[in-house]
């Protein structure tokens, strides 16, 4: 049998209440029996001690106990000390206390025969000797309180016990209601979270939990909503990724298929131009597959890096040299400001891949006759590399997402410029693997500015 959390919490709180009430009742009963009744017996014993001299005086003056036989009035008068105000005498008993004590007293003669008083005394009851001139003439005994309990006292105790149980029952009922309310208060939000989690696991990423408090459960609800939002965003990225990959793969394959079918049908002849066209599509397809492979490896941290001391200025100069011809063909002006002899700890091949992707974007998207500016300098123990072009720029709403895969500055950008939108995503992973940061912003030249910050190792000695 599976019990819900609310049921368990309710039962635990009720059990604690019952145990607490029972313990309080037992402790009160023990305290009453051993404490209060013991106190009464102690007070009665002190009173008995004060009666011994008075009984001895009465015996001596009357010549015996005959004046008390069958004369309860004389007995009660002898016991009554309420009118006495002896300075050294025992504390005076109240009327109720006095009446309760005198009903428990028994006077015996020297032969232990009852003279007057309570006839239900036990032989085990403590006795006090009454002596006259060194001779024991009688005994005074006091029935313990718990043995002298009358029927009225029994009824009183039963009423008290019944009232205690009723009070305890009422306390348990109140505690049960409070436990039910508390369990509902605590468990209802958890039930909503459990239900929402089940829906989320089933693929419903639109589910949200209303946040009704600012406590730990409210914080858990907010975290769940952020998780659901992140999962929905990732699911959208996954679908977009699959759509973009299929599109990027289908386009060169369709071109290749069309070219080959045209050659088979004799529509096109096998010429160097035809081979160049086929080779271009194969290169595009190969680059896309390689980019996807590198991106998948970097996402899982499996992309290999061979870290050594690298002079980053040399890597930049080498990569720029490979783009000089393309820059010249597009009439792009290249401005450089590269500090020499700046070392970083990195993989030279991956850093060259990083700069190659960035310069490829500059060469591909910068308008003809524009400017490309490359700088590298040391600042505050870091190396700052900036690659900037003159435009066209990137819309402000695209900048925060420009390092996501398949994100382009223009949704309508066609394949005349090439590229699948994976280069900047790979760049970000390479930079982060080197312990650096990369950011995109609007450049001073009117285009896109990419800033890379890497930890500087040390300066080379001349």
Q: Are residues 282 and 315 in the same domain?
A: no
Last residue of a domain, one of 298, 315, 347: 298
Give the end-to-end CA distance of the chain in Å, rounded to a whole number.
81
Distance in angstroms (rounded) separating the CA atoms of residues 202 and 196: 10
Domain assignment of residue 381, yes or no: yes
Taking residues 94-121, report their average pLDDT.
Answer: 72
Residue 169 · residue 175 · CB < 8 Å = no
Q: For the segment 325-361, what is each residue's pLDDT rounded down to a tens digit?
A: 989 999 999 999 999 888 999 999 999 989 998 998 8
Q: Are residues 291 and 385 in the same domain?
A: no
What is the band of 416 on the pLDDT scale with cuts at 50, 70, 90?
very low
| Strand pairing report for 371-379 and 333-338 | parallel
| SS3 call for 442 | strand
At residue 96, the pLDDT reads: 39
Residue 80 · residue 89 · CB < 8 Å = no
At residue 95, the pLDDT reads: 42
Say which CATH number the domain at 384 has.
3.30.565.10
At residue 49, the pLDDT reads: 81
CA angle, residues 392, 396, 397, in degrees to nearest 5: 125
Q: Are residues 113 and 41 in the same domain?
A: yes
Give the predicted TM-score (pTM) of the model.
Answer: 0.50
Taking each helix axis from N to C end, the angle separating 95-102 and 37-62, rounded to the nearest 10 degrees, works out to 70
Number of domains in the chain: 3
Tokens at 44, concatenated: 């009665």
Q: Are residues 289 and 316 in the same domain?
A: no
Percent of the chain with pLDDT over 70: 81
Residue 98 has pLDDT above 70, yes or no: no
Taking residues 304-331, report their average pLDDT.
Answer: 91
At residue 264, the pLDDT reads: 86
Domain hosting residue 62, numbered range: 5-147
Residue 328 · residue 295 · CB < 8 Å = no
Domain assignment of residue 152, yes or no: no
Residue, of 166 and 102, whose pLDDT is higher: 166
At residue 90, the pLDDT reads: 47
Ranked by mean pLDDT, which of 64-78, 148-162, 325-339 comes out on top?
A: 325-339
Domain assignment of residue 128, yes or no: yes
Q: Are residues 113 and 92 in the same domain?
A: yes
At residue 19, the pLDDT reads: 80
What is the band of 4 on the pLDDT scale with cuts at 50, 70, 90?
low
Q: Please, which residues bridge with residue 344 across strands?
A: 310, 456
Last residue of a domain, one of 117, 147, 177: 147
Q: For the segment 261-279, what is each residue's pLDDT rounded down to a tens digit?
A: 888 888 888 888 888 888 8
What is the band of 239 on the pLDDT scale with cuts at 50, 70, 90?
confident
Q: Are residues 338 and 255 in the same domain?
A: no
Residue 402 has pLDDT above 90, yes or no: no
Distance in angstroms (rounded) separating the CA atoms of residues 318 and 417: 24
Say which CATH number the domain at 269 has.
1.10.287.130
Q: Please, which residues bridge with residue 81 across strands?
A: none
Residue 430 has pLDDT above 70, yes or no: yes
At residue 384, the pLDDT reads: 95
Domain assignment of residue 187, yes or no: no
| SS3 call for 156 | helix
Q: Are residues 288 and 331 in the same domain?
A: no
Domain assignment of residue 208, yes or no: no
Q: Are residues 454 and 357 in the same domain?
A: yes
Domain assignment of residue 211, yes or no: no
Residue, of 163 and 205, whose pLDDT is higher: 205
Residue 417 has pLDDT above 60, yes or no: no
- Biggest CA pair distance of the chain: 160
Residue 368 · residue 458 · CB < 8 Å = no
What is the band of 89 on the pLDDT scale with cuts at 50, 70, 90?
very low
Q: Are residues 250 and 313 in the same domain?
A: no
**Residue position matching structure tokens 């009465």:** 58
Percent of the chain with pLDDT over 90: 17
């Amino acid at each position: 049998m599976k019990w819900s959390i609310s049921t368990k919490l309710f039962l635990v709180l009720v059990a604690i209440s019952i145990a607490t009430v029972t313990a309080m009742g037992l402790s009160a009963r023990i305290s009453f029996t051993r404490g209060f009744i013991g106190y009464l017996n102690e007070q009665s014993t002190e009173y008995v001690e004060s009666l011994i001299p008075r009984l001895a005086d009465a015996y001596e003056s009357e010549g015996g106990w005959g004046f008390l036989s069958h004369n309860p009035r004389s007995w009660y008068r002898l016991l009554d000390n309420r009118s006495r105000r002896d300075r050294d005498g025992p504390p005076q008993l109240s009327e109720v206390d006095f009446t309760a004590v005198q009903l428990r007293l028994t006077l015996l003669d020297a032969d232990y025969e009852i003279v007057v008083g309570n006839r239900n005394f036990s032989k085990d009851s403590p006795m006090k000797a009454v002596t006259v001139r060194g001779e024991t003439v009688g005994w005074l005994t006091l029935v313990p309180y718990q043995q002298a309990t009358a029927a009225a006292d029994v009824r009183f105790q039963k009423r008290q016990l019944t009232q205690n149980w009723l009070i305890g029952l009422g306390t348990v009922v109140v505690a049960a209601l409070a436990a039910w309310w508390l369990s509902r208060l605590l468990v209802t939000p958890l039930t909503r979270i459990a239900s929402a989690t089940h829906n989320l696991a089933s693929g419903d990423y639109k589910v949200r939990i209303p946040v009704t408090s600012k406590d730990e459960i409210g914080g858990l609800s907010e975290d769940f909503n952020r998780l659901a939002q992140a999962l929905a965003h990732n699911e959208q990225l996954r679908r977009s990724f699959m759509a973009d990959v299929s599109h990027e793969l289908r386009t060169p394959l369709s071109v290749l298929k069309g070219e080959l079918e045209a050659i088979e049908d004799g529509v096109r002849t096998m010429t160097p131009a035809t081979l160049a066209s086929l080779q271009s599509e194969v290169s595009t397809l190969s680059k896309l597959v390689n980019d996807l492979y590198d991106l998948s490896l970097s996402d899982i941290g499996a992309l290999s890096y061979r870290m050594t001391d690298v002079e980053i200025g040399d890597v930049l100069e080498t990569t720029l040299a490979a783009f000089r011809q393309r820059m010249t063909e597009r009439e792009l002006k290249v401005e450089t400001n590269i500090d020499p002899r700046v070392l970083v700890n990195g993989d030279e091949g991956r850093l060259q891949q990083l700069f190659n992707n960035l310069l490829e974007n500059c060469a591909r998207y910068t308008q003809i006759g524009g400017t490309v500016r490359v700088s590298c300098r040391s600042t505050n123990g870091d190396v700052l590399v900036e690659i900037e072009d003159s435009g066209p720029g990137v819309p402000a709403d695209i900048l925060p997402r420009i390092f996501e895969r398949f994100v382009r500055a223009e949704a309508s950008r066609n394949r005349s410029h090439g590229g699948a939108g994976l280069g900047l995503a790979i760049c970000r992973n390479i930079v982060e693997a080197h312990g650096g940061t990369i950011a995109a912003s609007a450049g001073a030249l009117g285009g896109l500015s990419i800033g890379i910050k890497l930890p500087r190792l040390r300066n080379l000695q001349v």
